[in-house]
Chains A and B, each alone.
Chain A
Amino acid sequence: MTRGTVSYIGQRLVLIAVTTVLVSSIVFLLLHQIPGNAFLNETRSTPQSLAANLHHYGLDLPLPQQYFNWFTNVLFHGDLGESLKNRGVYITPLLIREASVSATVGFYALLITIGLGLLLGVIAALRQNTWVDYIASSASVAGYSIPSFVLAIFGLLIFGHYLYIWTQGTFYYVPGWGKLEQIPVPALALGLPYASYVARLTRASMLETIRTDYVRTAWAKGLKARVVVLRHALRNALIPVVTILGPLITGIITGSVVIENIFGIPGLGKEFITSILARDYNIVIGVFTFYAALVGLANLAVDVIYPVLDPRIRY
């Protein structure tokens, strides 16, 4: 950690904050264009109760004032406001709780993506032009085109229907969340498309790296295969793979929105769609702010990993 790195990370954090605020401001302003807001469709609403509701949420204020209030609350108190549909439910703690659920699934998905992707890519590259390579390569070409919600449906069909005797449906319908057996199928559905992508990329960059002079030198020195492959070849082959980690994390977040809805996982993605359909705009804005910050931080993490792999890169 040099001073340069610290100031770089500081600058990036500021940029992430600016981006997050800017993007969620756009979403805020878009959603506040809607006349009458979330209460318009309420059946038992009288003019008095509507006015009281609007007043409670500060929606009777002029838009710039509303925007200013929201902005200062988010920036200085981390307060994303109150649910429009369930009064008394505050959004920040709700989202933090749900984010931990999403993060669990997302973490395993990322593990599958990177672990399986690297493994297949490295094996395919080392066994180039053998049947192992052909199987791994064609699987990855097919895999990255199949969207995660399609994989989720196949997963439900196979594990929830055909293998019901074995799984007892434990992974998709349970009153509570938090059992280990609920994780593999959604995480696989979420991770596999990106794992194929990582495998393709790893294979290509591994093929380039294992033909370089320093890898040949490493072999000639009589180093063990494990050391040559892992320390000399893979470490350098990882650099192009790390560049796509940012878009990858964005993709996993986007994918989790639909996966969580399919499997009924009570995470951010499910909340996002539920609150859009219920027109609970405060939560929509909140989830979005969360997502924007998350993607920014993920990209930052990737950039911090970068110089570890490639010391030539400095900030």
Chain B
Amino acid sequence: MVTAALPQPDLVTIYEMPEQVSLLQDAWRRIRRNRLALFGAAIILLLLVVALVATFWTPYPVWLQAVGPTYQPPTLKHPLGLDQAGRDILSRIMGGASITVQVGVGSAIIVSLIGIPLGLVAGFYRGTVDTVISFFINIWYGIPDLLVALILVFVLSDALHLIPRGVFVIILAFSLTRWMDVARLVRGQALALREREFVEAARMSGARDFRILFSHIFPNALGPIIVQATFAIPAAVLFEAFLSFLGLGLPSPMPSWGAMANDGYHGLDFAPHIALAPTIALSITLMAFNWLGDGLRDAFDPRMRR
């Protein structure tokens, strides 16, 4: 018995198969053309390197006082000068970079960890769960959230002594008052995506809710989530600087940029270098994250491109 092999059409030559590109590849291709975003990313990379180096080595210990005359302006030995206690400002800026990275990245992670599941559940199940979560989100829009976070830091560490004042309590307070931002976004995405065909298909093939939520809806909402998380970083960094500037953030010897700005602000008329170094570092960092965030938003959402 001879069966003539049916001529198999060569699919690839007949249909021009579009190249398969993942979300991240696609975003990378778009962001590569955005010079401002790349510049921001380069600054962030530098910040990360400095932060990493500072955890192991700084020219002088960040807390070491009187390494030279107090209020000394920049010299070759101390490129950014010395502060009111004779501490090397370059070392403290480096240490501050490390704190900034910890606060920013930590907050972005915790905000996402709280906001994403709550948003997914609210958007997917709707009903009572959604009502409760949306209630919190709506209330949050009517309050000065940073001031609640400020009170939270104060109560948790200064008044009740539950958590020592430090990076962790700041991340916690920020996340507890800011998760609504992420949750609102994810909820909207989940509300839209749950009606789509691929979710229906997944349900038809017997997937459990948990699987639908995390393997089907979550990956499709990933782009906006990454953008939102990126914007949470500068917000958290600013919150830490704001608290430390007011003397309610990190305790004294820790080299927070906000606290350093406060040190310098008292000697502004005769030693402006003390205040200038941390404020410029802070502004550049915030700018870099905002540029990258804007670039990512344009890259992940082509409709929003201008």
Contacts and interface: CB of A to CB of B under 8 A. Distances in A.
Nearest to B265: A153
B147 A149 contact: no
Given A30-B155, A31-B151, A153 B279 contact: yes
B139 interface: yes
Interface string A216-256: 00000000000000000000000000000011001001100
A33 B155 CA distance: 9
Interface string B232-273: 001000100110011110000000000001001100110010
A272 B147 contact: yes
Contact of A145 (B147, B275, B290): B290
B169 to A, nearest CB: 14
A163 B141 CA distance: 41
Contact of A31 (B147, B159, B246, B247): B159
A27 B268 contact: no
B147 to A, nearest CB: 6
A150 interface: yes
B172 interface: no
Interface in A1-50: 16, 19, 22-23, 26-27, 30-31, 33-34
What DSSP secondary structure best describes chain B's contact surface? helix
Given A145-B287, A157-B275, A291 B154 contact: no
A147 B282 contact: yes
A124 interface: no
A75 to B, nearest CB: 17
B18 interface: no
Contacts of B160: 33-34
Nearest to A207: B306
A139 interface: no
Interface string A285-306: 0001001100110010000000
Nearest to B146: A254
Interface in A116-160: 141-142, 144-147, 149-150, 153-154, 156-157, 160
Nearest to B291: A141
A102 to B, nearest CB: 13
A262 B151 contact: no
Contact of B147 (A246, A254, A279): A254
A105 interface: no
Contacts of A299: 141-142
Contacts of B291: 141
Nearest to B239: A254
A204 interface: yes
A302 B141 CA distance: 13
Contacts of B265: 153, 156, 262
A144 B261 CA distance: 19
B143 interface: yes
B127 interface: no
A103 interface: no
A273 interface: yes
A276 interface: yes
A19 B147 contact: no
Interface residues of A, number: 47
B45 interface: no
A257 B276 CA distance: 21
B144 interface: yes
A273 B279 CA distance: 21
B36 interface: yes
B238 A147 contact: yes
B152 interface: yes
A277 interface: yes
Given A30-B152, A33-B160, A141-B291, A292 B242 contact: no
Contacts of B146: 254
Interface in B126-185: 139, 141-148, 150-152, 154-155, 159-160
Contacts of B139: 19, 22-23
A284 interface: yes
A19 B245 contact: no
A273 B146 CA distance: 13
A161 B241 contact: no
B151 A27 contact: yes
Contacts of B287: 141-142, 145-146
B290 A295 contact: no
B283 interface: yes
Nearest to A147: B238
Given A147-B241, A276-B248, A291-B147, A153 B155 contact: no
Interface of A: 16, 19, 22-23, 26-27, 30-31, 33-34, 141-142, 144-147, 149-150, 153-154, 156-157, 160-161, 204, 207, 246-247, 250, 253-254, 257-258, 261-262, 272-273, 276-277, 279, 284, 288, 291-292, 295-296, 299
23 contacts: A27-B148, A31-B151, A31-B159, A33-B159, A141-B291, A144-B290, A146-B287, A150-B282, A150-B283, A153-B261, A153-B275, A153-B279, A156-B265, A157-B272, A157-B275, A204-B306, A247-B141, A254-B147, A254-B242, A258-B242, A262-B265, A291-B144, A296-B142
